Structure formats: structure tokens, C-alpha cells
Amino acid sequence: MGWKTLDDMDLAGKRVLLRVDINVPVENGKITDTTRIDRIAPTVHDIRAKGGKPLLIAHFDRPKGKVVPALSLRITLGALRRALGCDVAFVETLEALEAGTEEQGEADVLLLENIRFHPGEEANDPAFAARLARLGDIYCNDAFSTAHRAHTSTEGLAHVLPACAGRLMQAELEALETALGHPKRPLVAVVGGAKVSSKLDLLGNLVEKVDHLVIGGGMANTFLAARGLDVGKSLCEHDMVDTAEAIRLKALDLGCTIVLPSDVVVAREFREHADSETVLVDNCPADAMILDAGSESVKRINALFDTAATLVWNGPLGAFEIVPFDMATNAAAQKAAELTKAGRLVSVAGGGDTVAALNKSGAGAAFSYISTAGGAFLEWMEGKTLPGVAALGG
């Protein structure tokens, strides 16, 4: 572990520039999900307990270096005060922060206005980094979800102030290191979703690292087509079959087993409770769509989980949003959760659809770690260097 944590820093009497991700969903002027705000609380509490004063630096949406009043972080103030249980003062401009006020001095926590209102942020401008650095003593990054961006507040500041990871960043990095860095084996990966083309880097990296790779969703159809099977009217990238075959051959050469469905659930309509049937993969009707893995496929996947020590999961096994095509995802997720609770499996999952699918299955809470970092999680799994992590020394 090459990066420092809050445990390595002397924060007494120090102002801590704390990069957080509180880019929460908003509808009709109201926050609809406070998860991202709630998850920064442990870091804020620890900084304050060690005698530091947190200055929250965050973005909201994409104002592209311009002041857009509709994208003000002021909307998060109420939720922040509730989640943190303390007084949070909102600072509208850098000038106001530089000048200082009595309110700022008395507040427990400061929240700076949307950092992306400044063109220097996304440009990772050294002069902007130097200006921000003068406002604090320590830099703490608790926003793994933005770590794949080389911006001033995610990367630049780490080069001009003593830097460390916050508790959320620390948990994410430790979970990913456990899953892919130095995993207990056998290591199984589940990769699902619609398109092979969007996950080429991921598949290419995983076949070099995992013992077994389970492929599901629309991606599996492309691999089935590469085997010469008719997938009917299923979602399938027929122009990617050669690429899918190349991945299969690479896996074979590296000793990684690729697991595809042996039976599938097919339907003529993509809708809730559509008439469906389960057929073997070589018997998909020409007028039907493959919308889920079948029960025999799930048995094979679950048996594989029984032998595994570590599981990494990205993407659903079928059209999990609609019944009954959520069966395979739900059943496999519940098996993984059961093994995790029994202490037999370390399970790490991430990616937008993955989080939604695992939460829908009711199994998500039992996983060892579920990342909500989206793009950063995927880039880490692809084996890419994340600027925000590299800048911390990791």
C-alpha cells in the first residue's frame, strides 16, 4: 500500500482540503438519493476527531468552467448537515474563502461552491492548484469515483500538499487490491451487460488475472455467435465475433476458463412477464431473443462460486430490469451473498447496472464491497492507472 491514510497524518489545528463526491441526483429541486453524501461522514468525523477542520471540495454535474447557478452545491447543504451532524457553512467563492469571515471561523465544516465553476479545475492548471493549496494544510482525497480524472482537485493538489486517502477511498482501494491485486484463489469474475465492444479492455485484462470468467447478458450472445450458434433476434454484435473468438483463444492460452450459458431463456417480446421458454443454447428459435441465462447455467455458475475464494462482478447476467428475465442474476447474486456471509467468499462488485441489479436481488448488502464509483471502478478493473490514485503514491 503506497498511499497514506488519515491514520498517517497529524491533523491537529490543520485545515484539510477534502475532495469528496457529492454529485447527487436531483429532481424538481430535491435530492432523490443521499447515498454519496452519507458515505463521506466517516472521513469528516475522523478529521474533526483528530483536530482538523474539513473544507469540502466537490463538483456538481458539468458546468464546464462557467458559473451556472442551477448547478450550485448549495442544494446539498441540508443533507450534509443531517449526515454530518454538525454546522456546515457554504462558501460561494474562492475570494470569500481567501478573505475569511466569522461564520467560516465558527463553522465545523466548510463547503466550497462547485469546483467545476473554475476553468482551472478540469484543465488541472498548476496555478489553480497553487491557489487552492494556500487555503489548506493537508489534502485528503475521498472521491475514488473521480480518481480516473486528472483534474486539479483530484490529482493536482496531491503534488503540492501533504496528501492522503479518506476512509471511503481507503475502503475502495483495499477492496480492489483484495479482489484483483493479491486475491485469494480461485478467482472468478462475472462480466455481463449488453456489448462486448464496450468492455474489450476489461475482458482483455481479466483473462490475464482470473481463473474463471463468467460471461452473461447480451455479451454472451456475441460469444455464442462466435461459436457458430444461431442467436435468433437476440442483441448481438455480429461484427465483434472475431474479437470474441480472439478473447476466448487468449483465455485458453492463459489457462482461464470462459463460462458461457449452456441454456437460455428466450421470448418473442421484450416486456414484463412476456411468454418465455428455456432452451439449450444451440436451439434458439430464429424469431426469438435470448433474454437471460437458464436454470442449468445458473447451477453451473453457483457450483463455480462454491469452489471460489474471490469473486469480482461487473454487469448482469440477463435483462434484470424485467421479470422473469432477472432470474439468473438474482439467483447467482444470492448464492454469492450466501457464501460471503458464511465467510467462504470475498465478493467485490461495481458498475452502475451491477449496483442496481444486486440491490434489486436483495443480495447486495451481503457482498464484501460494492463500489458506486462507476467509470473509475471499470478503469481500475481494466488495469489502467488512475491519476487520482497514482498522485497519492499508490
Domains of the chain: residue spans and CATH? 6-167 (3.40.50.1260), 183-381 (3.40.50.1260)
Q: Which of 8-12, 71-75, 358-362 has the lowest mean pLDDT?
A: 358-362
Residue of 2 and 107 predicted with greater confidence:
107
Q: What is the mean pLDDT of residues 297-302?
A: 98
Whether 394 shows a pLDDT value over 90: the answer reads: no
Mind telling me the catalytic residues? 36, 195, 352, 375
Q: What local confidence, expressed as pLDDT, does residue 242 receive?
A: 95
- pLDDT tens digits for range 147-178: 999 999 999 999 999 999 999 999 999 998 88
pLDDT above 80 for 144: yes
Q: Are 268 and 275 in contact (CB under 8 A)?
A: yes
With cut-offs at 50, 70 and 90, classify the pLDDT of residue 204: very high
Q: What percent of the chain has pLDDT over 70?
A: 99
pLDDT over 90 at 193, yes or no:
no
Average pLDDT, the chain: 95
Write out pLDDT tens, residues 324-373: 999 999 999 999 999 999 999 999 999 878 988 998 999 999 999 999 88
pLDDT of residue 393: 85
At 1, is the pLDDT very low, low, confident or very high (cuts 50, 70, 90)? low
Please give the average per-residue pLDDT across 200-206, as a whole number: 92
pTM: 0.88
- The band of 284, judged by pLDDT with boundaries at 50, 70 and 90, is very high
pLDDT at residue 105, as a whole number: 93
pLDDT at 98: 95
Q: Which of 100-104, 125-129, 202-206 has the highest mean pLDDT?
A: 125-129
pLDDT band at 184 (very low <50, low <70, confident <90, very high): very high
